[in-house]
Amino acid sequence: MKIKITLAQNFALTLADAAHNVERRLDMSLGAIRGISYAEYRLLKSLGDAPQSRASRVDLAHQIGITPSGITRALRPLEKLGVVKTVKAERDAAAVSKALAAIADACRSDRNVMPTIVDAAKAYCTEQEICDVLREVFGQHQDRPEF
């Protein structure tokens, strides 16, 4: 049985095959010269391009096109080598708890919430932790179908 492929599909497959070959060659070259894979290079490049060379795993995942857990797995050996450093491990747990509680208090009052969010970011609270507090206080938005 023969499958009929359009010209556009054939071009897309050829392009994907060429990209795969280039990535494989880059992977071999980087591995031989620097001891890292092309995927690790892309991760380090994205991290280096981030403001102050800091980025969340979720942001890196969106930039590179893999899952946040994939970023975690890719960073683990780089952390052991001392190439990258996790900031979350260095943060003051008491300051984080205090900052998140301040956000919740501001949400429950008439105060401006933004200064407390800025303070939480300075205490190295993650975006997820801040959003969790906001969801806890305000709830999760639910779209209503419109007919």
Owning domain of residue 123: 89-138
Do 28 and 82 fall into the same domain? yes
In a domain, residue 147? The reply is: no
CATH number for the domain harbouring residue 82: 1.10.10.10
Do 16 and 82 fall into the same domain? yes
Report the pLDDT value the prediction gives residue 18, as an integer from 0 to 100.
95
Report the pLDDT value the prediction gives residue 57, as an integer from 0 to 100.
81
Whole-number Å distance between alpha carbons of 116 and 107: 10
Whole-number Å distance between alpha carbons of 5 and 3: 6
Whole-number Å distance between alpha carbons of 8 and 119: 52
Report the pLDDT value the prediction gives residue 88, as an integer from 0 to 100.
66
Structurally, how many domains does the chain consist of?
A: 2
- Whole-model pTM? 0.50
Do 55 and 104 fall into the same domain? no
For residue range 113-137, what is the model confidence (pLDDT) as tens digits?
Answer: 999 999 999 998 988 899 999 999 9
Report the pLDDT value the prediction gives residue 20, as an integer from 0 to 100.
92
**How far from 94 is each of 58, 85, 101, 113, 125, CA to CA, in Å?**
24, 21, 11, 20, 11
Among candidates 97, 98, 116, which has minimal Cα distance to 106? Answer: 116
Do 105 and 40 fall into the same domain? no
Do 93 and 80 fall into the same domain? no
Whole-number Å distance between alpha carbons of 53 and 30: 21
Structure-derived torsion over alpha carbons of residues 6, 7, 12, 13, reported in degrees to the nearest 10: 70
pLDDT along the chain (147 residues), means of 10: 86 94 87 80 88 83 87 88 78 90 95 95 90 93 80
